[in-house]
Amino acid sequence: MTATTPSPHRRRMLLRGALVLSLAGIGIAATCGAQTQPTPAAHDATLWPQPEWPFGAEPELEARITALMAGMSVEDKVGQLIQGDIASLTPEDVRRYRLGSVLAGGNSDPGGRYDASPAQWLALADAFYEASMDTSTGGHGIPILFGIDAVHGQSNVVGATLFPHNIGLGATRDADLMRRIGEITAVETRVTGMEWTFAPTVAVPRDDRWGRTYEGYSEAPEVVASFSAAMVEGLQGEVGSEAFLDGRHVASSVKHFLGDGGTRNGIDQGDTQVDEATLVRIHNAGYPPALEAGAQIVMASFNSWNGVKTTGNRHLLTDVLKARMNFGGFVVSDWNGHGQIPGCSNERCPQAFNAGLDMAMAPDSWKGMYDSTVAAVRAGTIPMARIDDAVRRVLRVKLRLGLFEAGRPSQRPLGGDYDLLGSPAHRAVAREAVRKSLVLLKNQGGVLPLDPRRHVLVAGDGADDVGKQSGGWTLNWQGRGTRRADFPNADSIFEGIERQVEAAGGTATLAVDGTYEARPDVAVVVFGEDPYAEFQGDVPTLAYKPGDDADLELIRRFEADGIPVVAVFLSGRPLWVNREINAADAFVAAWLPGSEGAGVADVLLRDAQGRVQHDFQGRLSFSWPRTAVQFENNVGQPGYDPQFAFGYGLTYADDGDLAPLPESPGITGPLAAPGVYFARGRASGGFSMRLLAGDGAQPVTSLPAASGDGHLRIEGMDHEAQEDAWRMRWSGEAGVALVADEPLDLTREANGDVMLVLHARRGGDAVPLSLTAGCGEGCGGTVEMQPLLARMPAGTWTRIGVPLKCLVRAGLDVARVRVPMQLETAGPLDLALSRVALGTQGEAEQVLDCSAD
Ligand code: BGC
Ligand code: BGC
């Protein structure tokens, strides 16, 4: 380092000063996200139903619990009420702190591998069980409960049967099928050693912009109510029967209590603003049947009801759920959900226990939660009676599951029976579910069913992609970044069509981009949403892929060539696709079918003798929108005017002709995809790029651009399209900053493992480069990027990820982010950038490791 070069630290200060100055110059003031819990309105528990809890007095069970608890210290008791995540705790921790439960979150896997083997899962379950049973350090040998999101089959595990997501199941209207799906899910979950699933979701999604719409069965409370008991009984077995919670069944958690599907503007974890009677009538519909079926666990929701977080709402958890609705199981919180209650943090929340929470899902925060809860009990902040009640509720579930006598997960009846994962019998049920879930919206001139003896071209990026057809909560949280080999027991939609067509003597060709040499008789175009989960799937309108008409153009190309087109649409919600519907001859809403893509061929194709194999049976359980802004479009609402009404669904007996649909989306104003800050070489709406140099910050409105001192020169560069990237060359100290017009609240994102993903390309050497996310003067987090730059192969476009958690650790206040990305270096550096967006594991090829900092 020469004497004239300022130290990296001083350099950073200089530049940050420049940015703050410029922000002040354009009138940006730091706003503080202070929130207070509003005073709840008057509540009325008598508005709620009184389902019967199906367990009578169980004196033996209670006596056993009493005896057990007599010897338990405060620490032992609190331990039973804390659930940590396998990514953040070890069997050793369980042994030491005698925790009651572990979970595997969507991105948490044995050895950190999303494609871990079933045997690794089982070994992990054994290790946690053994740690819980170890009495050598004074523990009481209370078996651990291992919970997992087996939400459409045992969907975290390679080889498992993947059922359609709930939105597709809702279209079947078949409660008996739910029971069978529950049974199979339980069996496959037991094979890999867990005894608890975080399912079913009984949300009643009302605004389809919500990223979790597909986790709900229906917008109609009656449909949800007609499914919830069957699913719980399938998972747990029937109360009173020998099968109940035996080794072939798992404990079920009904979620998310309450109002998760009713949040304003469909914002995940948002606020449901309805009166109490509406909350009961719509959002509570699935709970009474589930409780009567004996659901052992209820998961409290992230969302608020009229401004009050439900996880801290004593009226809902205690007065309504436990007292009025007679729920005798236990309440678990959702992934640090307790931390969102005003006055709480992820590590401390006596309020939640006092409101009625029995177990805290404290994935990465379990240690703090444990310590602070012990302290709160000792201080009397949480009454001992409340703790005793919670422990009793947890122990009841463990006893009902027979865990004290069951032995290691691998020694239990199904432990390690890997042949059951994706077994032919299980897959047959999933395939039946796929067949029954397909909803036919249009069948012009009776183009369907197809003759398998002809030449069928199968196109579209959903045609041969099991990951895409399975959606979120598949092998990882977002369901992205998987490969064909991860799905040994599955058929893509193309594979199913190909098998049947070839058996019948026809030809099936796969051409994702739709090109062909031999002219096909018909084209099947499979397209739709790419996988997402939770808030990552929240969208601003119901427009399908705004700004990207590639799929529409594909359909139109076949039409122009005079080839009939059958559109198969994969989606987690109804979307505005009127143009695609108009362009295609037939249109099938296939939802997110899961591993059994072959179920699509069963309905689309005749058999070799020309007979219909299976007719369409699916009926919309969500109303289909007429415009992209018909967000809350639910049957029974005033002014209800959908494109396709709730219950719609053609069969082969119907006239499937459709007059052309209106092609105006009804959108006014710009539409930025949430979480995308810079794409195709341009800042998204609501964001701008600034060039930072010693003399201040200037907006970059056109390229090429350069700082006054010439330290940084930026020019356009071709990545995937012409000039869709910025090439930035540093020869001295300077920076670029991506600035948001309005502060961004990334609290939800930072709770998970969301990261800032930069699609970038390094030209020359990797030199020191700092990345800062800023939140106003004196607020921000800076990380050093040189190690990550060094891992990018020079000259190759690479997606690099900076976990939000790293930025938080470095000081960022995620509730008010003004500058999601500021890059500074003294160079020399040659760095190109085409996209800056939020993403998750699987989207980044190289991820910054800040664990050691
Ligand atoms: C989700 C729950 C899920 C839990 C555990 C949360 O973020 O909201 O539905 O069960 O994580 O993965
Ligand atoms: C999800 C978890 C997931 C995590 C990723 C949470 O919001 O619910 O299941 O594993 O984020 O960090």
pLDDT of residue 4: 41
Nearest to 536 by CA among 176, 210, 183, 780: 210
Q: How far is the CA of 87 from the centre of ligand 1 (A)?
A: 14
Closest residue CA from atom 6 of ligand 2: 752
Average pLDDT, stretch 839-847?
Answer: 86
- The rounded distance, in Å, linking the Cα atoms of 272 and 259 is 6
pLDDT in tens, 351-368: 999 999 999 999 999 999
CB 167 within 8 A of CB 124: no
pLDDT class of 809 with cuts at 50, 70, 90: very high
**Measured in angstroms, how far is the CA atom of residue 530 from the centroid of ligand 1?**
20
Pocket lining: 163 vs ligand 1, CB cutoff 6 Å: no
Q: Average pLDDT over the chain, rounded to whole?
A: 93
Residue 46: C-alpha distances to residues 50, 249, 327, 356 (Å) = 9, 34, 15, 19
Nearest CA to ligand 2 atom 11: 752
pLDDT score, position 752: 81
Output the CA 298–ligand 1 centroid distance in Å. 12
Is the CB–ligand 2 distance for residue 476 below 6 Å? no
Q: Does the beta carbon of 149 sit less than 6 angstroms from any atom of ligand 1? A: yes
- Mention every residue, 6+ apart, whose C-beta is less than 8 A from residue 770: 8, 12, 782, 783, 784, 785, 823, 824, 825
Mutate to test the pocket of ligand 1, among 86, 114, 149, 201 (most ligand atoms within 8 A of CB): 149
pLDDT tens-digit readout, 283-317: 999 999 999 999 999 999 999 999 999 999 999 99
Q: In the predicted model, is pLDDT for residue 540 greater than 70?
A: yes
Ligand nearest the Cα of residue 151 is 1
Among the bound ligands, the one closest to the CA of 300: 1
Please give the pLDDT value at position 138: 87
CB 359 within 8 Å of CB 332:
yes
Domains and CATH numbers, the chain: 8-21+675-847 (2.60.120.430), 86-409 (3.20.20.300), 438-604 (3.40.50.1700)
Judge whether residue 843 has pLDDT over 70: yes
Q: Which residues are catalytic?
A: 334, 534
Per-residue pLDDT tens for 16-41?
Answer: 434 433 443 333 333 333 445 555 56
Average pLDDT over residues 191-210: 98
Atom of ligand 1 nearest to the CA of 302: 8
What pLDDT is attached to residue 723? 86
CB of 337 shorter than 6 A to ligand 1: no
pLDDT tens digits, one per residue of 44-78:
999 999 999 999 999 999 999 999 999 999 999 99
DSSP letters for 126-161 = HHHHHHHH--TTS---PPPEEEE--SSSSTTSTT--
pLDDT digits (tens, 9 = 90+) for 811-821: 999 999 999 99
* 132-156 confidence digits (pLDDT tens): 999 998 889 999 999 999 999 999 9
Q: Is 694 exposed, middle or buried (0-12, 13-18, 19+ CB in 10 A)?
A: middle
pLDDT of residue 852: 65
- Whether 438 shows a pLDDT value over 60: the answer reads yes
Closest-lying ligand 2 atom to the alpha carbon of residue 149: 9
- In percent, how much of the chain has pLDDT > 90? 87
| Ligand 2 proximity of 107 Cβ (cutoff 6 Å) | yes
Judged by its nearest atom, the ligand closest to the C-alpha of residue 754 is 2
CA–centroid distance, residue 686 to ligand 1 (Å): 30
Indicate the range of 147-151, 179-183, 469-473, 629-633 predicted with least confidence: 629-633
Minimum CA distance residue for ligand 2 atom 3: 106
Q: Is residue 766's pLDDT more than 80?
A: yes
Q: What is the pLDDT of residue 697?
A: 87
pLDDT of 246 higher than 50 = yes
Cβ contact 402:245 at 8 Å: yes
Q: Which residue has the tokens 């009454």?
A: 383
* Residue range 581-630, pLDDT digits in tens: 999 999 999 999 999 999 999 999 999 999 999 999 999 999 999 999 99
Going by CA atoms, what residue is nearest to atom 7 of ligand 1? 335
Ligand closest in space to the Cα of 202? 1
Span 407-412, average pLDDT = 98
Report how far ligand 2's centroid is from the alpha carbon of 256 (Å). 15
Q: Is the pLDDT of residue 250 over 50?
A: yes
494 lines ligand 1 (CB under 6 A): no
Query: Which of 276-280, 323-327, 666-670 shows the lowest mean pLDDT across its residues?
Result: 666-670
For residues 563 and 521, what is the distance between their CA atoms, to the nearest angstrom? 6
What pLDDT, on a 0 to 100 scale, did the predictor assign at position 36?
55
pLDDT in the model for residue 686: 85
Buried b (16+ CB within 10 A) or exposed e, 266-297: bbbbbbbebebeebbebbbbbbbbbbbbbbbb
The answer to whether residue 853 scores a pLDDT higher than 60 is no
Phi-psi region of 177 (alpha: psi -120 to 50; beta: other; left: phi over 0): alpha
What pLDDT does residue 672 have?
Answer: 55
- Mean pLDDT across 789-796: 95
| Residue range 636-640: mean pLDDT, rounded | 95
How far does residue 113's CA lie from ligand 1's centre (Å)?
19
What are 716-751's pLDDT values in tens digits? 999 988 888 999 999 999 999 999 998 999 988 898
Contacts of residue 62, Cβ cutoff 8 Å, sequence gap at least 6: 392
pLDDT at 689 over 60: yes
pLDDT at residue 835 greater than cutoff 80: yes
Residue 216 has which token pair?
A: 């709900």
> What is the pLDDT at residue 3?
37
